[in-house]
Amino acid sequence: MKKKVVLAFSGGLDTSYCAIYLSKDLDLEVHSVIVDTGGFSKEELEHIEKRAYALGVASHHAVDAVDGYYNSSIRYLIYGNVLKNNTYPLSVSAERVTQATAIAEYAKEIGADYVAHGSTGAGNDQVRFDMIFNILCPEVKIITPIRDLKLSREAEIDYLKSHGVEFNFEKAQYSINKGIWGTSVGGKETLNSKGILPEEAWPTQVTKTGTEELVLEFDKGELIAVNGEKFSHPAKAIKSLQEIVAPYGIGRDIHVGDTIIGIKGRVGFEAAAPMVIIKAHHTLEKHTLTKWQLSWKDQLAMFYGNWMHEGQFHDPVMRNMEAFLTDTQKTVSGKVFVQLMPYRFQIIGIESEHDLMSSKFGSYGEMNEGYTGEDVKGFSKIFGNQVKIYHKVNQDAN
DSSP assignments along 333-366, one per residue: -EEEEEEEETTEEEEEEEE-TT-S--GGGEETTT
Question: Per CATH, is 175-351 categorized as 1.10.287.3510?
Answer: no
Spell out the domain ranges in the chain.
4-162, 175-351, 359-397
Q: How far apart are CA 64 and CA 68, in angstroms?
A: 8
Do residues 337 and 348 touch, judged by C-beta distance below 8 A? yes
Q: How far apart are CA 236 and CA 36, in angstroms?
A: 15
pLDDT in tens, 159-172: 999 999 987 777 77
CATH class of domain segment(s) 4-162: alpha beta
- State the 10-residue block means of pLDDT for the chain, 398 residues long: 96 94 97 96 96 97 97 98 96 95 98 96 92 98 96 92 86 88 94 92 95 98 98 98 98 92 92 98 98 97 96 98 98 98 98 87 63 90 94 84
Query: β-strands 222-226, 229-230: how paired?
Result: antiparallel
Do residues 118 and 15 touch, judged by C-beta distance below 8 A? yes
Helix (H) or strand (E) holding 279: helix 272-288
Spatial CA neighbour of 332 closest among 294, 285, 297: 285
Query: β-strands 4-8, 114-116: how paired?
Result: parallel
Q: What are φ and ψ of residue 323, in 5° steps?
A: -65, -40
Do residues 79 and 221 touch, judged by C-beta distance below 8 A? yes
Q: Which amino acid is at 396?
A: D
Q: Which amino acid is at 30?
A: V
Q: How far apart are CA 132 and CA 142, in angstroms?
A: 11
Q: Which amino acid is at 22?
A: L
pLDDT in tens, 88-129: 999 999 999 999 999 999 999 999 999 999 999 888 999 999
Q: How far apart are CA 129 and CA 119, in angstroms?
A: 9
Q: How far apart are CA 331 and CA 269, in angstroms?
A: 32
